[in-house]
Amino acid sequence: MVSKKVLKNIGVFAMAVMLAAAPVLAVSANASQQMRVGAGSDTSDTSDTKTPAVTSPSPVSQTAKTTTTNTNTLRKNPVFSAAGDKLVSSVDGVNDAKSVNGVIVATLKADVLAAFGAGADATVVVDVHESNHGPAAERSINDGLAILAANQVEAVKGPVLDINAYLNGQKVTDINTPVNIVVGIPESFRQAGYEYAVILVQEGGRVSILTDEASFDTTLISFNTTGFGVFAIVKAPAGSFDSYK
């Protein structure tokens, strides 16, 4: 089942300025009960389980730079902007993806906790791995490419990541309020005159197109998401994703 839902969250990514995040809403009660048991434990095959759709998210602003203490693994995977700013994730987690130039959660930690419906003492972890998704998820990625093609967007697929979130050790698939994720685009995938987007595939084959909130910086993509799963970075000529914003 393929959804043409497009996230239309408002959020401008500012490179050197920390913005105060807007109030956020509580998480949907439909989070998966899978436990986080260690790095690389998720298969991210979306072939079987169906989950209810989330409610429409409210807009939320995000921060470009955070200084929260993170795990050593995350410290090895910051994102550097074209201006040379070092962007560090606001939450902990394992991050061993090598196909991109870093991945961070850019939303302030307090706002991440609120987006997950969690209190100040809760623990939110976001793990990032090279994707090991199965054939069902690959078909859904191709469905996303077909949706784009049907709207005259000839997108090219690039790196694919598994990004999974956990609240107090339990896997969370959907939240009601978006958080901002920033990914460094590898030089091998950058192309002059092109812009980037993400095809998100979630359990049950749900597909969303997430657009870039920082199109002025061609070295990275900044996108808002209310879900976690398989994230395929795609590119197309500049202006191609305007109808999805």
Closest CA to 34 of 136, 130, 172, 134: 172
pLDDT in tens, 153-165: 999 999 999 999 9
pLDDT in tens, 178-208: 999 999 999 999 999 999 999 999 999 999 9
pLDDT in tens, 38-87: 544 444 454 443 333 333 333 333 333 333 334 455 556 899 999 999 99
Integer angstrom CA distances of residue 180 from 149, 210, 224: 26, 11, 4
- Predicted TM-score (pTM) of this structure: 0.74
Domain residue ranges of the chain, discontinuous segments joined by +: 72-244
Q: What is the pLDDT of residue 15?
A: 35
Backbone phi and psi for residue 115, each to the nearest 5 degrees, phi listed first:
-65, -30
Residue written as tokens 């197309």? 236
Q: Are 219 and 81 in contact (CB under 8 A)?
A: yes
